[in-house]
Amino acid sequence: MATYGATFRQLRIGKNMTLKELADEQVSVGFLSKFETDQSKISVDRLMHLLDKMNVTADEYFFAQHDGYAMPEVPKVWSEMSVPNVVAVLGSSFYYTAGLSNRGQWEKLARWQRHLAEQASSAPTMGHWLNFDFAQLLLAQHQQAEPYPFVQRAITYLQQIDEWSIYELIVFNVFLQGMSVPDAQQLALSAKHKLVSQAPLSEIAGMHRGFLVTSFCFFMNRTRFDIAEELLGQMHSLHKEQSPQQSTGDFGMLILWCQGWLTYRRDSEERGQSQMKDALTIMRLCEEESLWRLYAAFSERIWQTKDDHLLYHSRLMA
């Protein structure tokens, strides 16, 4: 497995960009050089900032890093790890699996799934089994088979955990696409209560925002506007309750966009489209280019179809 820095350097060279072209007020040439040679670590926020400048998605970055890698050992107690490390270690495995699916590399995904099955059998941790289940879920969806059997373990696991951490939020978001509406609704309600004790943590607050947006999209896809409206209300409440340190402007933009989508489908297409366009305009004015590109493309797809269930929404994370 290539290091984070080596992978970054490979992608930068592939984009024909120099260290000087990437350096800015957030990261110096010297820091970038040390990161690429594994002499310095980088925060998740800075890494995402640099990938955005290179027009590389997180999906592409982790796919490049882990192409052909051996699955890392899954920690037994996720709560003992820092938030960035949890996201990096767990997310990289799911990114790799999703990357194969997104690129239509089904034979490679099938081989990867067999490797995960062997690994889960030899080292039967919950993390290994969930990685295996996710690969099965994506293969089932490609084959237009029933995906529900492959989310059962994740559902059972999430139901048994009394207090959700970053790990549980990621698992919920990953397996949400295969869940039934009742299961997703029950877990969404559970998450609201199980996250309360950890809400003051800025990292948890950020994941909570992403959880609410992803859940909102799920129920919009299934025309459950009543549940979507309830989640929208939770977004408004969370936004008002957060401290200045936790609050982010982009979340306010996403709330406006989500409100427009709900209005577009349920009440008035003209008024809803206007609200969505207002949110997109604010994103551009605030120079949130990556956010604008993602939501502008998804907005166009919404306006071009009458059936949101056909839309792939899992990348819409706060």
The span from the CA of 221 to the CA of 309, in Å, is 4
At 113-126, the pLDDT tens digits run: 999 999 888 888 78
- Minimal CA–CA distance to 312: which of 228, 217, 225, 207? 217
Query: pTM, whole model, 2 decimals?
Result: 0.57
What are the start-end ranges of the E strands in the chain?
Answer: none
Higher local confidence (pLDDT), 212 or 281: 281
pLDDT score of 62: 67
Q: What are the tens digits of pLDDT across the range 12-36?
A: 877 778 888 888 888 888 888 888 8
Tens-place pLDDT, residues 126-141: 888 888 999 999 999 8
The distance from CA 159 to its chain's CA centroid, rounded to whole angstroms, is: 21
- What span, in angstroms and rounded, lies between the C-alpha atoms of 239 and 244? 10
Collapsing DSSP to helix, strand or coil, 42 comes out as coil
Angstrom distance (rounded) from CA 262 to CA 276: 10
